[in-house]
Amino acid sequence: MMDAMEMIRDERQGLPSASGMQRLFLCPGSWNAERKCPIDEESEDAAMGTILHAHMEQGTMPEDPEDAEAVAWCREMEKALCEKHLGMKENWTDVQTVREVRLFERDRLFSGKPDMVAVWDRKALVVDYKFGRIPVSPAECNLQLSALAVLVMDGHEAYHADEVFVCILQPYASRKEPAVCRYTRESVEQARAFFRACIEQAQDEHAPLKPSEKACRYCRAQSSCPAVKLALVQVTSGDLTAAWEEWSPEKRREAYDLAKLAKKWAASVESKVKADLRAEVEIPGLVLAPGKKAFTVTDAAAAFQILNGLFPDDITAQAFTACCKVGITDLDKLVHSVRKAADAGAKVAESKDWLRKTLAGCAEVKVSDGSVKEVEGGAA
């Protein structure tokens, strides 16, 4: 549990957060389980999301052209949504806009930090940014957005809103106009009652653990959760080939979800083992092998000049380039920067498409095996 100092550092003040409502609903026991776990280090993807959120908050632009386009699209879509749902036309500068301010539910049930709240004519628009590439639940069934609607409506003295519109902008998953859900005071009270019941169940010391891929995706307790271990034992026991023929489609989907959960659990275990071995903690039969050395030429032009100078007749430009592999990501950025300089309206996707068509005669396209993709409404 949190000690007094942790409570001071925790801006949520020990309360559930809107961002964790989906997990709390799916697995009530995760609330108490997570509170016993230390804070994990931020992943690279999460760190990049934090940086892009900061750009949105501060009105700055990232250097990477693809990231810059994502931020620009979010800003354009914000304005379009304000015009559409708040009824605002030419008074954008008069709109009350608040970014990244934590709000608390009036009875202190939970808190949340909307990425952006715009208020005009007693209506509020709440926007949440998701900079990952995996689509999230749509607005009409997204519990985080529902919780944020409650919080914004509670702040009526500051926001003066009788209606709250909520949506998610996820530029790397879709550039279509997002679905928007509307909340009135009546629907906010219904949502509040729902969250109250969820939180009361979660805060019970006997709250049930209900592991699933979605519930465990961002849960800090997944690597130590007894319910996860039991679920994995159940799905891995026996002859999979024989059992598969007997399982219903729903049971096969359950096994698939648990298999994804098992991968994450295994990755977490391996990470902890490596950390132990680096700290010289002895684990029977395991040692940390030294990392492999990789020699990489970072300046191809300089390398060619050196080798061509030593062997001018043998290491020609054609022979040297035959040894090189073009980094398509870096080439995409180079080509886009050139096209952007010539045409300020050039888009990253257009530059990528242009490059592939232009180099079609001296390149190849390889297609990997298809991957399993989840579709809406297909969960067991």
What was the pLDDT predicted at 344?
87
Please, what is the Cα angle at 21 between 175 and 85, to 5 degrees?
40
Question: Between the CA of residue 9 and those of 6, 14, 18, 39, 42, what are the distances in Å?
Answer: 5, 10, 18, 12, 17
Asked whether 134 and 173 are in contact (CB, 8 A), the reply is yes
Residue with tokens 């007094």: 4
Q: What would the two tokens of residue 203 be?
A: 């805060």
* Closest CA relative to residue 87, chosen from 118, 56, 131, 132: 118
Residue with tokens 């068509």: 357
Q: Could you say which residues of the chain have pLDDT below 50? A: 1-8, 380
Asked whether 172 and 131 are in contact (CB, 8 A), the reply is yes
What was the pLDDT predicted at 5?
42
The torsion region of residue 87 among left (phi > 0), alpha (psi -120 to 50) and beta comes to left
What was the pLDDT predicted at 67?
92
Residue with tokens 């024989």: 242
Cβ atoms within 10 Å, residue 73: 14
What was the pLDDT predicted at 194?
96
φ, ψ of residue 128 in degrees (nearest 5): -120, 130
What was the pLDDT predicted at 14?
84
Sheet holding 116-120, edge to edge: 96-99, 116-120, 123-129, 163-169, 181-184
- Per residue in 144-195, pLDDT (tens digit) is 999 999 999 987 566 678 899 999 999 998 888 999 999 999 999 999 999 9
Residues in the chain: 380
What was the pLDDT predicted at 56?
92
Q: Are strands 103-104 and 123-129 parallel, antiparallel or unpaired?
A: unpaired
What was the pLDDT predicted at 208?
93
What was the pLDDT predicted at 372?
82
Q: What would the two tokens of residue 20 be?
A: 């964790």
The pTM assigned to this predicted structure is 0.75
